[in-house]
Amino acid sequence: MDANDYQMIRQLFDDYVRMYASRDDRLTAHFSEDFSGFTGGGDFLVKNRAEWVAITRQDFAQVKELIRIELKDLAIQSLADTIAVATSFFTIHLPIKDHILSRETARLVLIFRKEAADWKISHSSISIPYPLVREGEVYPLKELVERNRVLEAMVAERTADLNAQNLKLSEAMANVRTLKGLVPICAACKKIRDDAGYWHQVESYVRDHTEAEFSHGLCPECVPNYFPELPKSSTET
């Protein structure tokens, strides 16, 4: 294919993509009277122009806003003086929050045929590897919206659970009491002075300011002071 023919077919392809993405009904005027094709989610072969025009308009009615087509690759071939084919790979970005279809690679084949003084599209076949199109749809919008709704509900539920766990953790941390800073203690009787100026036994002060509890006993050095009758060997064990 020489450069002029390539540029002409490339322009025809670019015009198709532009009009399709902008939902421009003038695209239907480019379809040949002798037409065949199939849609990305359809399971039937279209064999006439009127049916394809109806499907195109159904597509435009289902998604009225602009869509973005991200072209990944394109091959243009001249099959004869009056026939050329454009094969492309691209990604479709619908005007909805979508994390499924936008990750898939769509495949489009357009066959252009020169009729009288103008080129027409005589065949269009698109393949989208996403089989969830429902009746009356061209794109699986209902399924995508439903899946997004389910995902958003799951995220909201998990976020609520996480917030509840964080609240419990914050409450637990608030209940943990620790002693910090300088603690004034009497050098003689070992009582501790609180912030109000009152003196307390070590046991009561620590119990009131921490989660600790005391159990009383005697260390080996103090046992003889209280039980002098015990033999020395007993106090050392």
Question: CA nearest 77: which of 85, 69, 68?
Answer: 85
- Whether residue 138 contacts residue 58, with contact meaning beta carbons closer than 8 Å, is answered with yes
Question: CA nearest 1: which of 111, 110, 75, 107?
Answer: 75
Looking at residue 192, its pLDDT comes to 83
- Whether residue 184 contacts residue 192, with contact meaning beta carbons closer than 8 Å, is answered with yes
Q: What is the mean pLDDT of residues 215-222?
A: 79
- Whether residue 122 contacts residue 32, with contact meaning beta carbons closer than 8 Å, is answered with yes
What is the model's pTM?
Answer: 0.56
pLDDT for residue 210 is more than 90 = no
How far lies 166's CA from each of 18, 27, 170, 172, 179, in Å? Answer: 50, 56, 6, 10, 24
Amino acid found at 57? R
- Tokens standing for residue 12: 């025809």
Helix (H) or strand (E) holding 68: strand 68-80
- Tokens standing for residue 159: 């976020």
Q: Determine the Cα–Cα distance for residues 185 and 199; give it in Å rounded to an integer.
A: 9
Looking at residue 39, its pLDDT comes to 85
Q: Walk me through the domains of the chain, giving residue ranges and CATH numbers.
A: 3-149 (3.10.450.50), 174-237 (no CATH)
Per residue in 45-96, pLDDT (tens digit) is 999 999 999 999 988 988 899 999 999 999 999 999 899 999 999 988 888 7
Helix (H) or strand (E) holding 31: strand 31-38
Could you give the residue ranges of the DSSP H alpha helices within 63-186?
A: 141-175
Per residue in 139-197, pLDDT (tens digit) is 555 666 666 676 677 888 888 888 888 888 877 666 555 666 777 888 888 888 888 88
- Whether residue 112 contacts residue 37, with contact meaning beta carbons closer than 8 Å, is answered with no
Looking at residue 118, its pLDDT comes to 87
If one counts every other C-beta atom within 10 angstroms of the C-beta of residue 45, the result is 10
Q: What is the DSSP letter of 185?
A: B
For residue 83, give the 3-state DSSP assignment: strand
- Whether residue 119 contacts residue 32, with contact meaning beta carbons closer than 8 Å, is answered with no
The Cα angle at residue 207 between residues 203 and 212, in degrees rounded to 5: 105
Looking at residue 114, its pLDDT comes to 92
